[in-house]
Structure 1
């Protein structure tokens, strides 16, 4: 239409999963799909365009419109998905679990860049057949430091594995805000641990090199909360941009 600017974007399109819970806006309150602003700012800072993916009214086919998938934190994964009975401290949202598991499996199958944070890392592990510790303080009382008080982030120091995405982007040692009471137990086939805290808690997982499944990183900590360090988001958005270019090249060859 004359007079309207052309809609041209070179920014990778990043799908972002959402919470589904009560919220308020203006004079209203009710169920809503929400995302903490820290995730949105982190994607934007890294050069990506965030597109929200609520767990209602969508399906894995939406990935055909995206260049990367960010699976964010939130409630615990329902233990029925990995064959366990619920712990008294486990609080889950099965509808959201179904959605996030489906998107994660589809992204893995498509070789789409995938960044999975906190609950997202647990979703990635469960999606591929792994299991979770439902309450880390049962194993190590000092694990309370990972979630020191409601709404208060802890801090975790960790060491990365040579040859990993985590090592490439963060170096040998790094630290990050964290907030969790669960963690990875049995790591799924096809994933390898690429960062651990000093107490052995799994802090990052990635695809095994022979898997050929593409760029994927799951982290137990919360890098979006560190606005001074966007290295992980930068690596993710760069991978999404490369994925978009390869897909465009395949489309041109097919035509």
Structure 2
């Protein structure tokens, strides 16, 4: 392993998985989340949900140079003071608590952070924001949802002057697969991209060195390499 490669932690799922004769609870993370980070020049540590212990969180982050909060099931609406919508996923409280703890500590340390889909929602809720629990109620169609594992595409407009604008074209289609999105914006965050129907598609914290969260799925986007390169470069500088 090259000594110059930063170490990126990527959060993961706990899911039932089948392999041969085994059907067991397992740590699960699609390789799509790690491949673009590796391609950008980093090594990856997978971070499964587990009991939150502040000392352990601190020790884990001390071994990392960046944190990627991956996609997955909906954040428990109780975390932002709402009752669940009928279409909201059953809570995954272990994952919520683990990611809130990791992300809070990473932001406090000004560690480079990249949020993906759910990761954007976790960041917003951590900062006191809220979520639209079912976008079809807001935009009138399921066009952001994708179907049967096939990602939809929506046009986005990236805001000039943001960090995201240095790493992504100002206007293009991106792959999406979400039925929730940011509503009230969390403290310290600014919108860095909108969809063409007014949905917040990316946020960032301009007070930090690198904190970007995309509601879309850059790991599914052949045009998303520059975002990962910027993230890994920031992690390399953080380590140095």
TM bin (shorter chain):
over 0.9
Partner of 2:167, secondary structure, is: helix
Question: Residues 223-238 of structure 1 correspond to what in structure 2 (within 5 A)?
Answer: 223-238=218-233
Q: 1:28 to 1:227 in 2, by over 3 A?
A: farther
Q: Residue 189 of structure 2: which of 185, 188, 191 is its match?
A: 191
Aligned to 2:204: 206
- Report how many residues are paired: 235
Greater fraction helix: 1
Deviations 1:71-126 (A, max 9, x none): 00000000000000001111131110000111111111010000000000000000
Contact 1:42–1:224 (Cα < 8 Å) also in 2: yes
| CA distance in 1 between partners of 2:190 and 2:144 (Å) | 22
Q: Residue 148 of structure 1: which of 146, 149, 154 is its match?
A: 146
Aligned to 1:218: 213
Aligned to 1:10: 4
Contiguous gaps of at least 5 residues in structure 2: none
Give the TM-score normalised by the residue count of structure 2.
0.94
Q: Residue 60 of structure 1: which of 50, 57, 61 is its match?
A: 57
Contiguous gaps of at least 5 residues in structure 1: 1-6, 246-255
Give the drift of 1:228. 4.9
Aligned to 1:104: 103
Aligned to 1:76: 74
| CA distance in 2 between partners of 1:63 and 1:106 (Å) | 8
Aligned to 1:239: 234
Give the drift of 1:29. 1.5
Give the TM-score normalised by the residue count of structure 1.
0.89
Question: Residues 23-62 of structure 1 correspond to what in structure 2 (within 5 A)?
Answer: 23-56=17-50, 59-61=56-58, 62=60
Runs of 4+ aligned structure 1 residues displaced above 3 Å come to none
Query: Which of these two proteins has the greater Rg computed from alpha carbons?
Result: 1
Give the drift of 1:8. 5.3
